[in-house]
A = this chain, B = another copy of it.
């Protein structure tokens, strides 16, 4: 391929060949390329089309489903150098960014103008907006403020298919509303790099967030915590975030940091609220559902301390071994039922499972812990992973709430969508990428 600056050094290629999904298959790329501009991307796509080389776009590689993993012989397109904030338009609540801008960097830049970009995946200190858009990333505050798709107004994309490979187009708009033609912008969001390469993103912003308070409740059983979530919904409360952590998470955090979490606490709910009415309502709902204790604070240091267990869960569990991260979502009223099934699955397969959940959304992240180097444990964890997917589908749920399909959820997606919808998906893929060059074999 005739591209200046192609990377072929094996060590660099290896580091660019996968995301953070455990045990997802990884191929060997032919080369990697770090475009500095849209024109660079166009050139790369044209070259790949001429030589029939698959293209695997990637950002920071913080994904958890293998969506950015290389396929054999591909060109890895690392967009992290296209990291310019092109524009922040305070009057129209719009930001225009290149795909390599890191989520937290954008948050900081718009905050300086009194504005807010809400999507807050846990990876926000490292993950890029391009990757967030490709996977339609969620986070904690999507309970009240929506996911990445809700903030993408328009895209500049390098396409193939019905136009010549390497053609740059603008999809969407920068106005608040606009419905001319099919919503190709939403089609591209969450398409995991399989329909084209996103080179610029026009984002909707919000006014600065209002100061948030924190409400925490400790429960003697998962069922009571589930009831508290259901009561909050029924009573029309609108917390910004409503998180659940189970006993296994609390235990791992306590063993590590000795925060003084009572050993009879089976589940903890942590909420952020924007109004005193919502905070009052949550305390009452938690209490009515049988909370052992509740606590609330509007002081930010105190709030930080109350959320410590949530923040420390992932690192506390990682000390125990590699984590296989699940991402199922069920109707929110079925969170307690799903938690019970996850527990059964863990017992059945002899796998240690700790669960954090965006409980208000019904989005659960069971974390399957595997002792390092134990192959049987890995196989058991992978079997448990598939069982969790099947149980979520049986409850009317989905195989991925916010992490994406990538490689780990492909079979699950087929089971969720059924053959007819998969045929429609493939027809759309074929219409936009007839050569099957964009991230083949994903999503």
Contacts and interface: CB of A to CB of B under 8 A. Distances in A.
B423 A163 contact: yes
A129 interface: no
Contacts of A399: 180
A339 to B, nearest CB: 15
A443 B416 CA distance: 31
A300 interface: no
A181 B421 contact: yes
Contact of A186 (B183, B361, B397): B183
- Copies of this protein chain in the complex: 2
A61 interface: no
Contacts of A189: 183
Contact of A331 (B92, B181, B420): B92
A34 B236 CA distance: 38
Nearest to A235: B207
A146 B149 CA distance: 13
B190 A183 contact: yes
A423 B162 contact: yes
B91 A333 contact: yes
Given A161-B427, A180-B413, A236-B207, A187 B187 contact: yes
Interface of A: 89-94, 114, 135-136, 138, 142-143, 146-147, 149-150, 159, 161-163, 167, 169-171, 173-184, 186-187, 189-191, 195, 207-208, 230, 233-234, 236-238, 329-333, 358, 360-363, 396-402, 404-405, 409, 412-413, 416-418, 420-432, 443
24 contacts: A89-B331, A114-B236, A142-B177, A147-B177, A149-B186, A169-B418, A173-B329, A175-B401, A176-B329, A176-B363, A177-B398, A177-B402, A178-B329, A178-B397, A179-B401, A179-B402, A180-B416, A182-B195, A182-B429, A184-B424, A184-B428, A187-B428, A207-B237, A427-B432
